[in-house]
Structure 1
Amino acid sequence: MGASILHITNGDSTTSYLKKLQFTGDFITWREMLCEGKTNTDVGSESFWKTRFDFFKNNYKVSKQNFINLTLKEYRNLCNFKQNKEIVLWFEYDLFCQINMLAVISWLKINRKGYPISLVCSGKIKNTTKLKGLGELSETEIKEHYKNRINLSQDDIEYADYIWQLYCSDSPLRLETVYKFNPTSPFKYLASAIEAHLLRFPTIKNGLNKIENTVLETAHNHQLKSKNQLVGKLLKEQEVYGFGDLQYFKSIDTLQKLFASFNPVKLSKKGLRILENETNFYGEIRNENSYLGGAKKYRFLYNKQSEKLLQITT
């Protein structure tokens, strides 16, 4: 752990934890959630950040000043770190982290060509079935992860960049096959993350995606007294998405018409019918400005029987 190392972490909590454990070097915190909203392939470009700011402003009411202070300033710091001899990436197993990781590697491929890049990725831990985030690791576990970090080859970097390019394309169809066929990839959680991503497109049966159906199922199957309790339950039981509370609150707001009450939490008759696949909500929930990566969310439908996406042609 020398000062010649640049650590790029998945969030402020990881950065704080590593500093607390006296990891030395420079630190950059990647403050983005590229698993949501439209993305461009050219990470760090003016058009890339404009697209991202528009998404945050329109969906989460993020002010320009906050976006500059929290995200752009940290990105500019990253641009200024050129003297480090090694770059270590700290990311987790979930969709949220894996997509951010792809984007960072894509940026490094162009802007730090030839630099040694290694990856610390948390997930499976010995003697437990639960996947763990970096902040859940003990001091011993996190130091062991660091010791066993994976050195990324040029092929690994090219592969991550290729998946990022596909994620940002206007069609997710090529992702359906490509992500499955790289058994030697060091990105051992990427396949399950991409699989979870594909399940975010609406289903043929009721027009809702995996996450939205989970929101309804959770609301219906548990006696919850408030929207906060519902979000808390969703956060606790999510496995591969890695979402924060804001993302679940936004999803619930999109499904507002399907709830009769939030005090206590109760689905409306329509919500129950949609949950039972007796009717379809696609026409009402469809939003032409909703993107997953580079693809319009409602231009594709997921067929559970074939486990394939279908493109809607107009």
Structure 2
Amino acid sequence: MAKTLHITNGDSFTAVLEKLNISGDIITWREMLCEGKTSNDVGSETFWRQRYEYLNRAYKITKDTFINKTLKEYRNLCNQKTQDEIVLWFEYDLFCQVNMIAMLSWLKKNRSDASIAIVCAGNEDASDKLYALTDLTQESLKNLYKNRVYLTKDDIEYGDYIWQLYCENNPIRLQNAIKQNKSQLSYLSKAMEAHIHRFPSLKNGLNELENKMLQKSIQQTLNSKEEIVHEMLKDQGVYGFGDIQFSKMATTLRPLFKSFNPVKLTKTGVNVAEAIENYYPIIRNDKEYLGGTPKYSFLFVEDGAQLLKL
């Protein structure tokens, strides 16, 4: 039996890892826990039911797809019980970091016997650029693996603690907890700060990324929804979102656009972008969750970067 179990952040990197000739079994974590409602008991019936309901509603993911892609791979993970070492291959961004702490929470409960290490891509050179695992050469990846970070019990406890807070309906507690990060999870605080910026702004009812989408639509000459999505993918900081997430965002904001071809805002869209009008009463949706928190139950106050409970 293999001595090492590798858990990757997605199919793209799994394909890369398979070519690296690093020994061990590979499990692909196929989830996007940064979106939709989450419960802290990773892998429970409630957890998977909530995840399926969200993915089906938001992205029309069918039950067959969910079972064959996500649940079968999760069951495969549950059957991996013999490896001495478990290596998590994740990245610096919010998308990856939320999945990573959910994984740490699960491992703490189910594989406390194993040694846990992380290979986390991000700052890889003297530049400000943050790298994805798939951006790196085979040599760089092997070097990252060689220098993988072995997590202490305290690191795992902290990752689990942040996951529990992420799944609570109290993001103010989460915001305070990430300021105390003394763990080896070095990208977690920045990612969670980005999460806090996903609550609607007090100024106009849209969050950081939604406002960025409107600003790009004003400042750049864009000719299609696909071009807006492409621009958001290029300039999203530490969110790590994919095209389907930005496409969904554009659809949500569609009433503020006069046209997508070319991209042009309505008068209300321009007023919202300039914080002359507040879009909160119109965009509010009680089914939208960020972790364990209804998205529209808190406002983000830019002055002081604080959350305000409604």
TM-score, scaled to structure 1: 0.97
Using the alignment, how far apart are the partners of 2:206 and 2:16 within structure 1?
38
- The CA deviation string for residues 265-306 of structure 1, in whole angstroms up to 9 with x for no partner, is 111111000000001000000000100000000000011012
User: What is the match of residue 265 of structure 2?
Assistant: 267
User: What is the match of residue 217 of structure 2?
Assistant: 219
SS of 1:302 mapped into structure 2: strand
Structure 1 residue 205, shift from structure 2 partner: 0.5
2:264 paired with 1:247: no
User: What is the match of residue 12 of structure 1?
Assistant: 11
User: What is the match of residue 162 of structure 2?
Assistant: 163
2:306 paired with 1:308: yes
Percent identical across equivalent pairs? 54
Structure 1 residue 129, shift from structure 2 partner: 1.8
Using the alignment, how far apart are the partners of 2:20 and 2:64 within structure 1?
32
2:294 paired with 1:296: yes
Structural mapping, 1:138-217, within 5 Å: 138-182=137-181, 184-217=182-215
- The CA deviation string for residues 110-141 of structure 1, in whole angstroms up to 9 with x for no partner, is 00012100000000012322000000011111
- The CA deviation string for residues 82-128 of structure 1, in whole angstroms up to 9 with x for no partner, is 01111000000000000000000000000001210000000001232
TM-score, scaled to structure 2: 0.99
Structural mapping, 1:3-42, within 5 Å: 3-42=2-41
Structure 1 residue 170, shift from structure 2 partner: 1.1
User: What is the match of residue 68 of structure 1?
Assistant: 67
SS of 2:129 mapped into structure 1: coil
Using the alignment, how far apart are the partners of 2:150 and 2:100 within structure 1?
15
Using the alignment, how far apart are the partners of 2:304 and 2:142 within structure 1?
43
Structure 1 residue 196, shift from structure 2 partner: 0.2
Using the alignment, how far apart are the partners of 2:74 and 2:180 within structure 1?
33
User: What is the match of residue 276 of structure 2?
Assistant: 278
Using the alignment, how far apart are the partners of 1:309 and 1:301 within structure 2?
6
Using the alignment, how far apart are the partners of 2:221 and 2:125 within structure 1?
35
- The CA deviation string for residues 5-42 of structure 1, in whole angstroms up to 9 with x for no partner, is 10000001111101112222100000000000000000
Structure 2: tracts of 5 or more residues without a match = none
Structure 1 residue 181, shift from structure 2 partner: 1.2
User: What is the match of residue 86 of structure 1?
Assistant: 85
Using the alignment, how far apart are the partners of 1:168 and 1:91 within structure 2?
20
Using the alignment, how far apart are the partners of 1:209 and 1:30 within structure 2?
28
Structure 1 residue 70, shift from structure 2 partner: 0.6
Structure 1 residue 219, shift from structure 2 partner: 1.3
The Cα RMSD (Å) is: 0.9
Matched length: 310
The one-letter code sitting in structure 1 at the alignment partner of 2:7 is: I
Structure 1: tracts of 5 or more residues without a match = none
- The CA deviation string for residues 217-252 of structure 1, in whole angstroms up to 9 with x for no partner, is 111111011100110111011110000001001111
Using the alignment, how far apart are the partners of 1:126 and 1:231 within structure 2?
28
Which ranges of 4 or more aligned residues in structure 1 deviate by more than 4 Å?
Answer: none
